[in-house]
Amino acid sequence: MNAVTSGTIAPLAVSMGEPAGIGPEIIAKAWLLRKPANLPTFIVLGDPDLLVERAKRIDLDISITVCEPEAAGSHFGETLPVLPLSGSMVCEPGKPRTPNNGLLVIEAITRCVELTIAGQASAVVTAPINKKALYDCGFGFPGHTEYLAALAEKLTAKPARSVMMLAGPELRTIPATVHIPLIEVTNHLSVKLIVETARIADHDLKTRFGIERPAIAIAGLNPHAGEDGAMGREEIETIAPAIEQLRNDGIDARGPLPADTMFHERARRGYDVAICMYHDQALIPAKTLAFDDAVNVTLGLPFIRTSPDHGTAFDIAGTGKAEASSLVAAIRIAGDMVRHQEKAAAEERA
């Protein structure tokens, strides 16, 4: 895969997300912030008419150019480049309509991935989706991440193992297990799961974040990291063996660490990413430190993908209240990851 077009980095591909949510307006706001935020060029996969209508609704002055990705760079400074979908999205803010809109949301995500794998785009940035709207039109995946992994396997004919990372200015966290009930976490944890997750994190932090030797902090599951087995044996039987295996592989893995003492400021200086054992153990500290600026980064895929770490916010859609800071951060981080990836690829070729 080559994300370079005519000697320059190809634009990021941004899927518009759920049209009844805040996606269209935060995309418009992000484009208006392109110069002060020093954002890389991006092209939106969505409905140009809806983007214009939503921007006007909240008194945003934007102009749109319908174009192909290779022309996005020449327009981005003055107009927002948009690549239309196969149909129009019709809805009122806060009132999702299916199945037509849901199918178009899926199409936008799919085409972003296709463009990126083909080298016409350099990375994928996804605006928030409404999962129920997608389920209502036959979407068979729990969410974005799982669908992206399936698309990667289909388009490259290679297995893909995705890892979710929350990245903020002060902390990166990865949940080893994600959207499962807390009572089932111990059944899903394994040495293999922790090792695979850490290997992917180590690889992508090197190649896509430019960290030469990532320090990976690995949390315990139980209070006080099990306290030598007095409060549980998962640390002894599963987490510590995984860390030992990672160290034998040359990865700087540390732990198991008590989760209640690994996220304060001084502790955070000692590592580049924290791998946690379950969803809230990872997301609570990440969102506490950077609720408006945290970015969802999908590691392990053959393409770069980022997303704002919030939902569709139907309750404020169309009011102009939605903040674009997380989307701006997602676009900026995606651009930084592209540059690091290109640099790593060039060094490997040399």
Burial class (CB in 10 A: 0-12, 13-18, 19+), 163: buried
Q: Write out the two tokens for 299.
A: 């590691």
Whether the predicted pLDDT of 1 surpasses 50: no
pLDDT > 70 fraction of the chain, expressed in percent and rounded: 98
Residue with tokens 């809230």: 280
pTM, rounded to two decimals: 0.91
The whole-angstrom separation of Cα 205 and Cα 226 is: 29
- The whole-number pLDDT of residue 4 equals 41
Q: What are 299-309's pLDDT values in tens digits? A: 999 999 999 98
Domain chopping of the chain, boundaries: 1-162+302-350, 170-289
3-state SS class at 56 = helix
Closest CA to 104 of 63, 45, 48: 45
pLDDT > 90 fraction of the chain, expressed in percent and rounded: 79
Confidence at 146, pLDDT banded by 50, 70, 90: confident
For domain 1-162+302-350, the question of CATH label 1.10.3720.10 is answered with: no
Domains 1-162+302-350 and 170-289 share a fold: yes
Instruction: Please state, in angstroms and as integers, the Cα–Cα distance from residue 217 to each residue in 10, 64, 109, 269, 278, following that order.
Output: 34, 45, 33, 11, 14
Q: What are 87-142's pLDDT values in tens digits? A: 999 889 988 877 789 899 999 999 999 999 999 999 999 999 988 888 888 888 87
- The whole-number pLDDT of residue 37 equals 92
What per-residue string of b and e applies to 39-74 under the rule 16 or more CB within 10 Å gives b?
bbbbbbbbbbebbbebbeebebebebbebebeebbe
**pLDDT, averaged across the chain:** 92
The whole-angstrom separation of Cα 61 and Cα 220 is: 50
Which residues are CB-neighbours of 39 under 8 A, at least 6 positions away?
Answer: 30, 33, 328, 331, 332, 335
3-state SS class at 92 = strand
Confidence at 6, pLDDT banded by 50, 70, 90: very low
Q: Are 147 and 299 in contact (CB under 8 A)?
A: no
Least confident of 1-5, 9-13, 44-48, 175-179: 1-5
Least confident of 144-148, 276-280, 296-300: 144-148
CATH hierarchy code of domain 170-289: 3.40.718.10
Backbone angles phi, psi at 101, to 5 degrees: -65, -40
Q: What are 203-237's pLDDT values in tens digits? A: 999 999 999 999 999 999 999 988 888 988 999 99
